Chain A
Amino acid sequence: GDSVTQMEGPVTLSEEAFLTINCTYTATGYPSLFWYVQYPGEGLQLLLKATKADDKGSNKGFEATYRKETTSFHLEKGSVQVSDSAVYFCALSDRAAGNKLTFGGGTRVLVKP
């Protein structure tokens, strides 16, 4: 079946540091890829997405590129803020069942001032 693997946290950074969270996937079909963010005490919010190879999703300074050859969708941000402290989830959906998401285990990010 489909699966998503992302780096374990917690990741602790200083403000204005560069953030990378690795995400790789296995899928039987041609999936769409997502990054969701969960702020403390809240539900998940869609951060960005990419639906085909070489697509770059971006939002709020975060970027991720759909790399089919390496089955990866790494999340990056050039200069993090304290407000970026959250748990980040990589996820995929298969086109045959696009309303169902398969999630990675989540990566907690803590940004210190």
Chain B
Amino acid sequence: NAGVTQTPKFQVLKTGQSMTLQCAQDMNHEYMSWYRQDPGMGLRLIHYSVGAGITDQGEVPNGYNVSRSTTEDFPLRLLSAAPSQTSVYFCASSYPTGPGTYEQYFGPGTRLTVT
């Protein structure tokens, strides 16, 4: 199993440009999430999905869109990049291990810089 894969590893955008961060998992997990990591703030949840066709907002959703057409893929779209979106982005997939408890697997991250 490849686990959770993300592309690209690095990206530089100019303000106003759009792009899609790709995320795929081969573990047949129903749950997938996007987090951003900023210095001193840990990881914050952007959007998540509980299955194909179902998405919802997390803590910091503004400026990002997601869709989930298949179980495997969960792309994150930046429609008009802003410098405040400079961050490291992590995708995760998870499965339930008990009542209300999930084990999450993280991808290697995408480092995005917006100038």
Chain A positions near chain B (C-beta within 8 angstroms): 4, 8, 32, 36, 41-46, 49, 51, 89, 91, 93-96, 98-106
Contact = CB atoms under 8 A, between A and B. Distances in A.
Interface residues of B, number: 28
Given A32-B100, A51-B101, A99 B33 contact: yes
A27 B94 CA distance: 21
A44 B50 contact: no
A51 B98 contact: yes
Contacts of B50: 99
B26 to A, nearest CB: 16
B91 to A, nearest CB: 9
Interface in B93-109: 94, 96, 98-104, 106-109
B54 to A, nearest CB: 12
B41 A105 contact: yes
Contact of B42 (A42, A51, A94, A106): A106
Interface of chain B, helix or strand or loop or mixed?
strand
Nearest to A97: B100
Contact of B90 (A43, A96, A98): A43
A16 B46 CA distance: 39
Nearest to A42: B108
B49 to A, nearest CB: 9
Contact of B43 (A89, A95, A96, A99): A89
Contacts of B106: 36, 43-45
Interface in B37-60: 40-45, 48, 50, 58
A106 to B, nearest CB: 5
Given A42-B108, A44-B90, A103 B101 contact: no
A40 to B, nearest CB: 12
A20 B107 CA distance: 27
B31 interface: yes
Given A43-B107, A100-B48, 17 more contacts: A4-B42, A32-B100, A32-B101, A43-B4, A43-B108, A44-B92, A46-B104, A49-B101, A89-B43, A91-B42, A93-B100, A93-B101, A98-B102, A99-B31, A99-B33, A101-B43, A106-B42
